[in-house]
Structure 1
Amino acid sequence: MIQEFLQNTLPLDSSVTLKRSEIDSASNIAAVRSEAFEIISNSGETVGFVKAWEDAPSFRGYVHFDSDGNVIDWKVFQDRLQS
């Protein structure tokens, strides 16, 4: 679910793909689901990283890093219920 969310919201062009990475589960909060991804170019080079989290389907976000670990973008999304 997190990968689908990133593919729909992270501004990536078609020359890169997301590859799931291992994440240290000891550092996770039990209620929050998180995943880490490498951004891989068509030539196989790692060109960035993304760490994404989801507290509920309506509250999630990501941090996008370049290949040196510098933050490029940080977004939080919260769906608002309409009455």
Structure 2
Amino acid sequence: MIQEFLQSTLPLDSSVSLRRSDTDPDKEMARAHSEAFEIVSDDGETVGFVKAWEDDPSFRGYVHFDSEGNVIDWKVFKDRLQS
């Protein structure tokens, strides 16, 4: 579900794709479900990284890094509860 969320919200060029990373989840985000992804070019080169989390479907976000680990973007999404 996190990957679909990223594909719909993260502004990525069509020449790159997300590949799930084999990293350990952040201990600081133990309550939330988190996943890490590499942003890979069509040539197979890693051009960035994304760490994303979801506490529940109404509260989630991501941090987008360049290939050197510098933060490019950081977004948090909180859906309004509908009555």
Answer yes or no: same fold by TM over 0.5. yes
Asked whether the equivalents of residues 28 and 34 of structure 1 are also in contact (C-alpha less than 8 Å), the reply is no
Match of 2:69 in 1: 69
Aligned equivalents of 2:27, 2:70: Cα separation in 1: 21
Aligned equivalents of 2:5, 2:64: Cα separation in 1: 14
Equivalent AA in structure 1 for residue 20 of structure 2: R
Equivalent AA in structure 1 for residue 81 of structure 2: L
Report how far residue 72 of structure 1 moved. 0.1
Match of 2:58 in 1: 58
* DSSP 3-state at the match of 1:61: strand
Aligned equivalents of 2:25, 2:41: Cα separation in 1: 27
Runs of 4+ in 1 over 4 A off after TM superposition: none
Identity of aligned residues (%): 77
Please provide the CA RMSD for this pair. 1.3
**How do 1:2-81 residues align onto structure 2 when only pairs under 5 Å count?**
2-25=2-25, 27=27, 29-81=29-81
Q: Alpha carbons of 1:42 and 1:2: their partners in 2 closer, same or farther (altered >3 Å)?
A: same
Question: Which blocks of at least 5 consecutive residues in structure 2 are unaligned?
Answer: none
TM-score, scaled relative to structure 1: 0.93
Aligned equivalents of 1:44, 1:31: Cα separation in 2: 33
